[in-house]
Amino acid sequence: MASYNKVILMGNLTRDPQLSYTPNQTAVVDFGLATNRRWTGQDGSQREETCFVDCRAFGRMAENINKFFNKGRPIFLEGRLTFDSWTAQDGSKKSKLRVTVENFTFLPGTGGPGGPGGPGAGAGAEPPEQAYDEAGPPRNRPNEPIPDSEIPF
């Protein structure tokens, strides 16, 4: 059976990224993301719900997220769902779903020092394009056609 595991999220960081390293010195960053959904109920009242998602990134991407993002900063990310399970100290079984980030994009916004998305947001300036992920700049920019070979269906 075929399978497909892709997550696309846009939201704001709920806490500052937490950078750590594996025993073989691979960078790992954990952060929380909040996404909001707004709608009008049947009674005409405005409704809103917030979804909180735990995210993790590895390697150079993890270092860039740690360097350029902080609590409140908006981010657009692509990744996959990962299921983690462990045994707690009290012997109970624990588990959670997390998004493992495979690519991300900086968004203009109100998070961080320096105001809405301008120079000074995050770590003092917007990073160069090649800081987006380990593979280099994003392959699809606005107004750039997507090659047929990259469409998954």
Contact 31, 52 (CB under 8 A): no
CATH number reported for the structural domain that contains residue 91 in this entry: 2.40.50.140
Q: What's the whole-model pTM score?
A: 0.69
User: Residue 104: beta bridge partners?
Assistant: 77
> Number of structural domains, the chain?
1
Contact 91, 57 (CB under 8 A): no
Provide the residue-wise pLDDT of the chain in tens; the chain has 153 residues.
Answer: 899 999 999 999 999 999 999 999 999 999 999 999 999 989 999 999 999 999 999 999 999 999 999 999 999 999 999 999 999 999 999 999 999 999 999 998 765 443 343 333 333 334 444 444 444 444 444 555 666 666 665
**In sequence order, which ranges of the chain are alpha helices (DSSP H)?**
59-68
Q: What residue numbers bound the domain in which 17 lies? A: 7-140
- Residue 147 included in any domain: no
